[in-house]
Structure 1
């Protein structure tokens, strides 16, 4: 992409997403993620209404009466964006392309983090770790992230969620809030990696999909392409059996993904390319507040 065109796109994304994070998400982001980064402060005697999960059993045993751990909110969090840059993001039959929606969501979260005085970092991934941007603060850092979101060219086409989850778990030592932004078109090998990552960090899943991926239209013989494997097949979409099988495939895959998230205790939001992602993010934040 030419430099002038790229700068125009960066500026457009900055104006839109900074405005969203400042005007719409003001307070929502902080209330959704406050308390996720907590530092131990002291112990005190248990009082009626305290959370029993905060009881310090060692101190309680020594004093023969219950004591609880008191935590204080850390002044800043580290936020990581795990952004899927596989070939399947370059699709958009209904509404925007998935890549465009992913870019805007990531930029909005980045500006929300900066306004909350948090550090923000990014891992671009396909079926390999494509690029790691360490967490930092500042507008210059944010604009660099946006430029990369718009113009980054991955080396590979596939997707491996377990790889990026394992990489983040090892690379980020301090507990962080991590947004996994993907269409989740991948194999089913990421369940264990997701559970492990969420035990160390605060994981959040954001799925971006196109409605044309969910239902096969009745338009006769069509060529379908698997962008990640570079495989093409002709499909008879006029066949009711074929359309039912396709819908069953999507529903089964979507159900397994949501089940993995639920069992790993990871909050998730699903956003269609023709929907307002602001509403989905607001609902996600409200669920966590």
Structure 2
């Protein structure tokens, strides 16, 4: 974890702020036909599945019906063409996994990673809600997991967002409670035990601590479910400033570093680059859909760009 030396409690979110994101969450859901410039329309297995079709009724053929839907057995019995009609599958359970661990308590510019994750989780919840899905989730930090069972109601979305806001506001630099190794794996394992098939699982995290075991769990989870990994990162993970003072914390050890010193700056760059590379490599190998959100910019325009909606009218 890397923290700035000054902290501002105003950067934490509230339930009201997350609820107020509802209009911004009126976007096409993750399962619809994706625009060609959407990151969910990529290759190599990164594409989210479309919604399935549920059988609705058997009815007489009318001009314009798709001949592929003709039920030949019923047609032979009746002596006249019959077709099967379908309705689009709705009301799928959507689980939002929101990371509020201490590693998320960092932001070098606009937002904390934890706050960006809270906002993206809220947007994902509203997208699922307006798509007609049941919404639930798991909000987790280093010590606890808050689980919300998926349900189709605005009250359930509000419950999830309230839990996210509470954990976000509880983050403190001076929190000396022990961190549980493998907490991310525990959360994914818990979701895997409940998401048997045909669920949407949206994991919003910086994926700090990702391992080969995490990779295996993601692959298992995505075998019968749609999994979307949204990686929240800080611009410092990509480009360090030429000067400044930061505190680097790893495995309960904190060290203050002056980035104006070339040797120190290079060491920190190597450290951050390697962590970012490991996360990128594991998520790519997992073959789950993968989006990136930076803390250096507002979350809404980034999500719209990722879905190929820049310049598109809001619903």
TM-score range, shorter chain: 0.7 to 0.9
CA distance in 2, matches of 1:30, 1:203: 11
Shift of 1:274: 1.8
CA distance in 1 between partners of 2:127 and 2:102 (Å): 28
TM-score, normalising length from structure 2?
Answer: 0.68
**Structure 1 residues 249 and 223: alpha-carbon distance in aligned structure 2, compared to 1, 3 A threshold:** closer
Cα distance in 1, alignment partners of residues 199 and 284 from structure 2: 20
Give the one of 193, 199, 202 matched to 2:223: 199
Aligned to 2:22: 18
Q: What is residue 118 of structure 2 aligned with on the other side?
A: 103
User: Can you give the 5+ residue segments of structure 2 that lack an aligned partner in the other structure?
Assistant: 1-9, 35-47, 56-67, 69-84, 172-176, 310-315
- Label 1:214 to 1:177 Cα distance change in 2 as closer, same or farther (>3 A): same
Select between 266-275 and 253-262 the one with higher mean Cα deviation: 253-262
Task: Output the CA distance in 2 between the equivalents of 1:270 and 1:12.
Answer: 22
Structure 1, gaps ≥5 residues long: 42-49, 51-69
Corresponding residue for 2:14? 9
Cα distance between partner residues in 2 of 1:199 and 1:176: 11
The alignment status of 1:273 with 2:295, answered yes or no, reads yes
Structure 2 contact 29–127 (Cα < 8 Å) conserved = no
Shift of 1:187: 4.3
Q: Secondary structure at the match of 2:32?
A: helix
Q: 1:39: Cα distance to partner? A: 5.8
The reply on whether 1:31 has 2:61 as its aligned counterpart is no
Q: Higher relative contact order at CA 8 Å, sep ≥6: structure 1 or structure 2?
A: 2
- Alpha carbons of 1:241 and 1:188: their partners in 2 closer, same or farther (altered >3 Å)? farther
8 Å contact from structure 1 (residues 81, 106) kept in 2: yes
Distance 1:127 1:150 in 2: 16
For 1:206 and 1:212, locate their aligned partners in 2 and report how far apart those are by CA, in whole Å.
18
Q: Deviations over 1:104-125 (max 9, x none)?
A: 1111111111111101111123
1:145 paired to 2:160? yes
Report the structure number with the largest CA radius of gyration.
Answer: 2
- 1:170-209 matches, cutoff 5 A: 170-189=193-212, 190-209=214-233
Q: Residues 279 and 266 of structure 1: is their aligned pair in 2 closer, same or farther, counting only changes over 3 Å?
A: farther
Q: Show the 5 A alignment for 1:1-289.
A: 9-15=14-20, 17-22=21-26, 25=27, 27-29=28-30, 31=32, 35-38=49-52, 73-127=88-142, 130-152=145-167, 153=170, 157-158=179-180, 160-189=183-212, 190-219=214-243, 222=245, 224-226=247-249, 229-286=251-308
Partners of 1:251 and 1:243 lie apart in 2 by: 12
Is the 1:128–1:163 contact (alpha carbons within 8 Å) kept by the matching residues of 2? no
Q: Distance in 2 between matches of 1:71 and 1:240?
A: 64
Contact between 1:183 and 1:208, CA under 8 Å: does it hold in 2?
A: yes
Other structure's SS at 1:31 match: coil
**C-alpha displacement at 1:72, in angstroms?**
6.6
Tell me the secondary structure at the aligned position of residue 121 of structure 1: strand
Distance apart, 1:216 and its partner CA = 4.1
| Alpha-carbon distance, 1:217 to partner | 3.6
Distance 1:197 1:148 in 2: 24
2:307 alignment partner, SS class = helix
SS in 2 for 1:248: helix
Q: 1:118 to 1:187 in 2, by over 3 A?
A: closer
